[in-house]
Structure 1
């Protein structure tokens, strides 16, 4: 098979990671893998792993992007992929128009993946106009069936995102060097019960809830400490400052540590005693929650979206009613009073995701 995946850019994020994972799986099975994007820092890795990258400015939500329809059509005609797999709305629209100009007999098969709960409108509907529409969780299947009646249920295929269990092994512990360096950088973390809130600094991730939780718990548990793992975009500097002011005004400066953007997320998840998932909006999948559970760290999160699907299968005692702050307090308190065990995770593997996706490609070609 020859498969061409299209996405805006190759910098970082779930869509990008998924694209690289499928590209790698295609190459491993002896298929040809092409990726079209505006480029980015992951291109070198993609090419080193055996795929071909074609650079095209298909990343801008602007009318000027329409100039890319003809060059995209030329790329498709030149490379003649069997399958074109779109992973984002601008590339999906450009592909839609590019394919219209190719005679039906020469057109590749079209597959899309719905990675997000996009705003509901005609612009987003394009993601549901493909021969097969991959949804990354049951929550996404429901989002499509509720909002896009044009998409027949039999054309929606749920394929969970997956992680490599070898990269997040059960019972993983950070190295002595890592611990020494961390205690040197953040001495306040030593001998503490650590609550971890991973994710970028945005209003969506539930930092206010964390601050309120720490304020309530620290009166009863002086050894409790919260750590926020994630960077703040320059645009979010004001929000970060606002949070730090709140923390200071509540006298919690020595109870909450911001460690910024990290590439050693596995270490932080394994090092923490409990990981929290407190997003104000449902997440389509919840990869970080899965990574934490995979290494054996309990996760407590709101009962919605993809995180709820993972918790209900892997660690149901971590599920709490959405925005129920008393239930959150009680759940964390229970973990403080009595350490909980997480069983090894046997589902949501990267191999399953790749196998199911490649099988779908083969089925469409039949």
Structure 2
């Protein structure tokens, strides 16, 4: 067994920007864990509203437009190469395709003795083409689910499977405890905003309004159980692009056609999703295409809310491991309606513990850094 050294590491993460999103959130969490373990964390991006949060972790942010889809992005190469050398970077962690191309080239321009190791994280099933190849250049390739591992091995057979490490995303058990309850007065305020929901049980689908997220399937399934469960309402939580409102209009028309306008509400984007999930009777995931992970599925389960979901992609993986009672054959609306009706009557309890924790994700990520450098990176 190789002996680990005890020196500190410098890890530089590259991503397009630091605005809201799962990639950005994961980058900040890893930076925080590195600093807490006594290492140096650098994030290179074009900046954004999460830059201040990154600063509170003790990490350094370097503003560089490495995600700009313009030939001028190549002008960032000399500065990035200089940064890697001056900061004596040990690992470059690539989290998006264009920054991965830039980071790979900058690292390749460094002298061999100072060349950093590369780690990539594949966050989704990208379109299969040469543009995605940069995400496969890492000494280690992190796949955020077994589904993503399969996407890589199926579409890019030249990749050595030994380089792929599955590290699912995770939620904080401090932020999402199994006994979580919304703050006092929250429910009254929410009911006042959406009086159709007051005094009723909620079935929630949390997802932005877009066809593949399955809101139309939700309406079809809800219509099948509505008359037998008149104390239940549907809640579609998620924003939509104001310039592309046709799908939202289709959903409203479908509800009107089925006389469900008072039984299913569209809340728009919400910052209190955790409170909504914790207050729901059930949450559902009816994505018509497999998701890379299924974050809202594990968020709902973490606060004790049962979930029904199609058995594919990341959501299927989560349910198989944590709550198999919620699995439904993808796109089988009759089966989904039967499962929903049964679980509204008697849903099995959700386990208080599960493996999809932030702590486990960070531990596994830092272990990858240790493996490829020979440096102990204990969190």
Same fold (TM over 0.5): yes
Partner of 2:57: 49
Q: Do 2:207 and 2:213's aligned partners in 1 also have CA atoms closer than 8 Å?
A: yes
Q: Larger RCO: Structure 1 or Structure 2 (Cα < 8 Å, ≥ 6 residues apart)?
A: 2
Distance 1:144 1:339 in 2: 36
Partner of 1:347: 355
Aligned length: 366
Shift of 1:67: 2.3
1:272 aligned to 2:280?
Answer: yes
Distance 1:339 1:346 in 2: 18
Shift of 1:208: 0.5
Distance 1:362 1:176 in 2: 44
Distance 1:162 1:123 in 2: 28
TM-score (norm 1): 0.97
Partner of 2:225: 217
Distance 2:342 2:216 in 1: 21
Stretch deviating more after TM superposition (183-192 or 44-53) = 183-192
Q: Do 2:325 and 2:348's aligned partners in 1 also have CA atoms closer than 8 Å?
A: no
Shift of 1:18: 0.7
1:286-318: per-residue Cα shift (whole Å, max 9, x none)? 111001001110000000011111100110010
Distance 1:331 1:150 in 2: 41
Shift of 1:148: 1.1
Q: Do 1:114 and 1:133's aligned partners in 2 also have CA atoms closer than 8 Å?
A: yes
Distance 2:70 2:291 in 1: 26
Q: Pick from 134, 145, 153: which aligns with 1:137?
A: 145
Q: Do 2:239 and 2:268's aligned partners in 1 also have CA atoms closer than 8 Å?
A: yes
Gaps of 5+ in 1: none
Partner of 2:185: 177
1:281 aligned to 2:289?
Answer: yes
Shift of 1:74: 2.0
Q: Pick from 311, 314, 317: which aligns with 1:306?
A: 314
Stretch deviating more after TM superposition (58-67 or 103-112) = 58-67
1:75 aligned to 2:83?
Answer: yes
Q: Do 1:27 and 1:33's aligned partners in 2 also have CA atoms closer than 8 Å?
A: yes
TM-score (norm 2): 0.94
Partner of 2:16: 8
1:62 aligned to 2:70?
Answer: yes
Shift of 1:242: 2.2
Q: Deviation above 4 Å: which 4+ runs of structure 1?
A: none
Stretch deviating more after TM superposition (261-270 or 61-70) = 61-70
Q: Do 2:221 and 2:334's aligned partners in 1 also have CA atoms closer than 8 Å?
A: no
Partner of 1:33: 41
1:243 aligned to 2:243?
Answer: no
Distance 1:319 1:64 in 2: 48
Q: Do 2:306 and 2:347's aligned partners in 1 also have CA atoms closer than 8 Å?
A: no
SS at match of 2:202: strand
SS at match of 2:315: helix
Distance 1:138 1:59 in 2: 27
Distance 1:340 1:84 in 2: 44
